[in-house]
Amino acid sequence: MEKHHKFSIWYVLLGIWVVLIIQSYIASMFAVQTIPYSQFLTLLKTGKIVEVAITANQIQGKMKVDGGTPDETKVFKTVRVDPELSTILDQYKVSFKGEIESTFLRDLFSWVFPIMLFVGVWYFFMKRMGAQQAGFMTIGKNKAKIYMENELNITFNDVAGVDEAKQELIEVVEFLKNPGRFTELGGKIPKGILLVGPPGTGKTLLAKAVAGESGVPFFSMSGSEFVEMFVGLGAARVRDLFVQAKEKAPCIIFIDELDALGKARGFGVTGGHDEREQTLNQLLVEMDGFDPKVGVILMAATNRPEILDPALLRPGRFDRHVLVDRPDKIGREEILKVHLKKIKTVPDLNVETIAGMTPGMVGADLANLVNEAALLAVRRNKKEVGMPEFEEAVERIIAGLEKKNRLINLKEREIVAYHEMGHALVALALPGTDPVQKISIIPRGIAALGYTMQVPTEDRFLMKKTELLNKIASLLGGRAAEEIVFGDISTGAHNDLARATDIAKSMIKEYGMSNKLGQVYLAREKRPQFLDAGIRDTGDYSEATAETIDEEIKSVITTEYTRAKDILHHQKDVLHRGARLLLEKEKLESADLTSLLESDTSRP
């Protein structure tokens, strides 16, 4: 395909050349000698002119050739001059000739421009077509940057504070170093790895580290680079990228900011089949088409996994997800140490203190912080960067990030800490709730400011009524703690409320756990009917029952909320100490919680 289009422009050039040659040959055959008008008159008087054809401006004709046979003639042409003037000029023997105004500009406008326009349009379309068919000349060429191992001096040592993600990627490095061993054992090689995490947590850095560690070529391209210019170009780029990668295998293809390319399809304003969609389809085709055994590993990064097209996440595509989360305090300390190596600091710099001052910051913020501190030291003419510089840099960066709403302020952190502690303490106090494994106030995603992780000890098929009630109580524990400590409640609990209400609703409508309503099933599958008033839920119970259901749900929630508050009232001391510990450490494991509870003397 490509060859054909490359040739076609040469065909056209050759054609033009041939036409020019033919034209000049024809012109020479009918060679016309242009002579001055005065010479024409002389020739006329001496009887040399054989025949003439006269037009308004010129005279063309045949004349006898000097010294030739009488029959031999040649074609001449001359421009007519005003006949009267010519007689006078003739009298005085002045040589004179006529001249036709130059038509050069007119020719230019009437011929050259249309031709140029035509060629331009032709070229434009060829470009587009060519792009669609894997590149016309250099337009479809891939822009992927290829880094070789020696150019890319990044190793896992440069990435800190994201140990879990690092652990998962070590296997990938093993595979790339020795693909044969894996295939011999029949092991399943990951095809696509998706790094997911907030911006600046080091996703790009991790991908580069994988390449650096395994020492294979690294094709890096950003999702947005695929989507530009002409329709079809992105798809061509994808194809080209995979062709190149297969030649260089084993290697890594890394698509940064996958969301720019992999947004869910079908929402295009320009109709279903736009450029991005085509590119995405091509990527899916390529991913399905290659065998990981050749040693090409596809990695991608995104901070918005929720908007990705589900097709990208299916088995055989980006089926392994690696979470690159915000670092906790210890993680931040490690990241700071990596970046502090690059600058000169005072010997007794307390890195832990700096890590403690920077809650919520990610790797990129910390790198920025170290740089900022170094700049401040330069401005102050210091030889080494010290604590005062770091303190000021922290203040500056926090101010900047707060403006961007990326950091929660101290007061909010406090509320979150008490809220999470409330969940945990209620859960711990009630039998039959899942054990609390971890509490964290490191914000995750957009909605959750903190979380309490409860892991079920076994798979459950049956739940007792008391267990469900306890679960509701612990969900409400967050808000209860806020009310007890601050005398006010916040919006941070809406997800808890939703989940608690769902459980209560199921208890009453599906499980027959309401005393008032008894052992009835009231959640028959809704059959929406399109009546005149629109869709109506035709639940098979009366309005009165519906009211009772609402009352019962409310009553369950209220009772459990009171219970949660009671529990926390009795453990105010632990609540305060726990929240303070959480604020300090940002993350508490179950062991921390146990020792916290054991040291509690007020507990019954």
- Token pair recorded at residue 335: 């990241």
Rg of the chain taking only CA atoms, in angstroms: 42
DSSP assignment string, 76-101? EEEE---HHHHHHHHHTT------PP
Q: Which residue is nearest to ligand ADP (CB)?
A: 363
Q: Is residue 345 within the footprint of Mg ion (CB under 5 A)? A: no
Residue with tokens 């000349």: 137
Tell me which of Mg ion, ligand ADP, Zn ion, none is bound by residue 478, counting a contact when its beta carbon lies within the kind-specific cut-off of 5 to 8 angstroms.
Zn ion
Among residues 135, 197, 234, 478, which is the contact residue for Zn ion, using CB under 5 A? Answer: 478
Rounded to 10 deg, the angle between the 203-214 and 163-177 helix axes is: 30
Q: Which is nearer to Zn ion, 172 or 439 (CB)?
A: 439
305-327 burial by CB neighbour count: b if 16+ within 10 A, else e? beebbebbeeeebbebebebbbb
Q: Which is nearer to ligand ADP, 367 or 469 (CB)?
A: 367
Among residues 191, 203, 479, 509, which is the contact residue for ligand ADP, using CB under 6 A? Answer: 203
Q: Which is nearer to ligand ADP, 199 or 432 (CB)?
A: 199
Cα→Cα distances 243→149, 191, 238, 239, 365, Å: 20, 16, 9, 6, 37
**Applying CB under 6 A, which part among 5-13, 169-177, 194-202, 400-408 lies near ligand ADP?**
194-202
**Which residues are known to be catalytic?**
420
- The answer to whether 586 touches 442, Cβ cutoff 8 Å, is yes
Tell me which of Mg ion, ligand ADP, Zn ion, none is bound by residue 199, counting a contact when its beta carbon lies within the kind-specific cut-off of 5 to 8 angstroms.
ligand ADP
- How are beta strands 534-536 and 529-531 bridged, if at all? antiparallel
Tell me which of Zn ion, ligand ADP, Mg ion, none is bound by residue 496, counting a contact when its beta carbon lies within the kind-specific cut-off of 5 to 8 angstroms.
Zn ion
In angstroms, what is the minimal distance from the CB of 159 to ligand ADP?
5
Among residues 140, 363, 450, 578, which is the contact residue for ligand ADP, using CB under 6 A? Answer: 363
Q: Which is nearer to ligand ADP, 192 or 478 (CB)?
A: 192
DSSP assignment string, 272-339? S--HHHHHHHHHHHHHHH--GGG-EEEEEEES-GGGB-GGGGSTTSS-EEEE-PPP-HHHHHHHHHHH
In angstroms, what is the minimal distance from the CB of 264 to ligand ADP?
22
Q: Which is nearer to ligand ADP, 99 or 306 (CB)?
A: 306
Q: Which of 341, 342, 383, 339 is nearest to 358 (CA)?
A: 339
State how far the Cα of 428 lies from the Cα of 407, in Å rounded to an integer: 30
- How are beta strands 73-79 and 58-64 bridged, if at all? antiparallel
Residue with tokens 């939703």: 498
Give ∠ CA 430-431-433 in degrees, rounded to 5.
Answer: 80
Residue with tokens 């529990």: 567
Tell me which of ligand ADP, Mg ion, Zn ion, none is bound by residue 574, counting a contact when its beta carbon lies within the kind-specific cut-off of 5 to 8 angstroms.
none
Cα→Cα distances 418→267, 326, 466, 484, 571, Å: 42, 21, 25, 10, 12
Among residues 68, 199, 316, 435, which is the contact residue for ligand ADP, using CB under 6 A? Answer: 199
Among residues 38, 204, 440, 470, which is the contact residue for Mg ion, using CB under 5 A? Answer: 204
Q: Which is nearer to Zn ion, 495 or 558 (CB)?
A: 495
Tell me which of ligand ADP, Mg ion, Zn ion, none is bound by residue 363, counting a contact when its beta carbon lies within the kind-specific cut-off of 5 to 8 angstroms.
ligand ADP
- The answer to whether 400 touches 437, Cβ cutoff 8 Å, is no
Total residues at interface with Mg ion (CB under 5 A): 1
Q: Which is nearer to ligand ADP, 339 or 423 (CB)?
A: 339
Q: Which is nearer to Mg ion, 195 or 408 (CB)?
A: 195
State how far the Cα of 205 lies from the Cα of 41, in Å rounded to an integer: 91
Tell me which of ligand ADP, Zn ion, Mg ion, none is bound by residue 553, counting a contact when its beta carbon lies within the kind-specific cut-off of 5 to 8 angstroms.
none
- How are beta strands 534-536 and 49-54 bridged, if at all? unpaired
Total residues at interface with ligand ADP (CB under 6 A): 18
Residues 275-304 contacting ligand ADP, CB under 6 A: 301
In angstroms, what is the minimal distance from the CB of 368 to ligand ADP?
8
**Applying CB under 5 A, which part among 127-135, 204-212, 426-434, 522-530 lies near Mg ion?**
204-212
**Applying CB under 5 A, which part among 108-116, 199-207, 429-437, 556-564 lies near Mg ion?**
199-207
**Applying CB under 5 A, which part among 50-58, 234-242, 363-371, 493-501 lies near Zn ion?**
493-501
Q: Which of 226, 195, 198, 206 is nearest to 156 (CA)?
A: 206
Instruction: List contacts with Zn ion (CB under 5 A).
Output: 478, 496
Instruction: List contacts with Mg ion (CB under 5 A).
Output: 204
Instruction: List contacts with ligand ADP (CB under 6 A).
Output: 159-162, 197, 199-205, 301, 335, 338, 363-364, 367
